[in-house]
Amino acid sequence: MSPTIPATRPVRRWAVALLASLLALAFLWMQAPSSASAEETDDGQEITDFYFAGVITFDDQPVEGVVMTIEGKGFEGETETDAEGKWRLYVPEKETYTLTVDEETLPDGVIVDAAQLPEGTQPISGTTASFEVEFGLTGTKIMNLFLGEGERITTSFIDQLTSRLVGGLNFGLLLALASMGAALIYGTTRLSNFSHAEMVTWGGLVALVTTTMWHLPLWAGIAAAVIGGGLLGWGMDAGIWRPLRRRGLGTVQLMIVSIGLSLALRYVFQYFIGGGTQQLPGASPTPIQFGPISLSYIDLIAMGVSIIAILGVAFFLTRTRIGKATRAISDNPQLAAASGIDVDRVIRVVWILAGVLAAISGILWAYFRPGVKWDMGGQMLLLMFAAITLGGLGTAFGAFIGSLIIGIAVEVSTLWIPSDLKYASALVVLIIILLVRPQGLLGRRERLG
């Protein structure tokens, strides 16, 4: 008789879980707001009520084919001048933006004449081709730009790479806070929690309401967000996940519940704060130059807070009884329960910790984007899952390493690809590493059969 293969059913369960995950991602993508129905220009811009426009000339003659980009408050747009030197860039709302002229598309030996910039336009230090622009009383701003002879200021590839590496480290650290919490939840419950994105959004929203609507100090807003994050994690486990676990629901069913919860929370947030982007106090401060690296004091504080929080999680997992119990449950829940560990109590602590980490990450993400928006956590969701998978499912330290790799890959990739595609580069890195090490960087290879 041929030997039986006890791993057949687990393999089927993993196949079903993988298929359900793909269907869930497709469902979220279909639910994302689509701009296909909006009216667009010939170069793909969505037409809105707000735009910057003007003419670029050199020696009183229009210059064709000059590429213009605009970015700010999480938005990016691009166009180029036509045969008459005219250009127009639409933006979603009336805010301050950074307008950049691509110097590579200018005629040889000419630059933007900073002496003739329109009133209210502030050139950015260290360049003649980027400046901050803002609207007046209306929703349109006309900016005629004049070119003059001069020497272009260029940045070496090494300087750009250094700057991107630091930016990637900053992004990776705040991503790690959210990813480590989600990894701990997966490790102890085997739940792929899609609503973790809304736990991130919740942190930013609590800080926003506390500081801008209730007019309390920023430190009070941060404290309220951290406490609120812990309470949300506790409430979600006590009110939803623990009862469902006791009813014996499988991982696929729990994952589908988390998708529904994610969508419900997301649109509840939108109902209460609207669809716009709102800023926390002190957002977008003036950067400080450290050689080729440009960082604001908020960036420095954010990196310091992230490192302290990550070290705190490491101490919790390696030096405390509950932390060691958490790792034991992640390794073998049945054996941990048989050893006398209160599994439900440990899982409850993990949910509270994950909520706190998600709230801190949400505040830092609100300053990094910058701005608080009802769906801002959803922008991090795939990157969180990518970091967890890359580091090894269920391990917080793996999620930390995976987050750093994802963050650096996202920022450094903009040296070669358009910034609109930078998040896709993280998924490419994930695929390449998993082809070499399917279990992830810190995951353990499991034998089947």
Helix %, strand %, coil % of the chain (to 5):
55, 15, 30
pLDDT in tens, 36-71: 445 788 878 888 889 999 898 888 888 898 898 898
Tell whether the torsion through CA atoms of 190, 31, 387 and 324 is positive or negative: negative
pLDDT band at 5 (very low <50, low <70, confident <90, very high): very low
Of 133-147, 194-208, 307-321, least confident by mean pLDDT is 133-147
pTM of the full structure: 0.71
Of 145-154, 159-168, 259-268, 359-368, least confident by mean pLDDT is 145-154
Q: How far is CA 151 from CA 69, 107, 169, in A?
A: 21, 12, 33
d(CA 259, CA 257): 5
The dihedrals phi and psi of 278, each to the nearest 5 degrees, come to -120, 150
Nearest CA to 129 out of 119, 138, 148, 365 is that of: 148
Helix axes 321-331, 343-368, angle to 10 degrees: 100
pLDDT in tens, 197-233: 999 999 999 999 999 889 999 999 999 999 999 999 9
pLDDT band at 444 (very low <50, low <70, confident <90, very high): low
Contact residues for 49 (Cβ-Cβ < 8 A; gap 6+): 139
At 121 the pLDDT is: 64
Q: How far is CA 272 from CA 34, 227, 260, 267, 298, in A?
A: 21, 20, 19, 9, 28
**Contact indicator for 190, 251 with CB cutoff of 8 Å:** yes
The dihedrals phi and psi of 97, each to the nearest 5 degrees, come to -130, 165
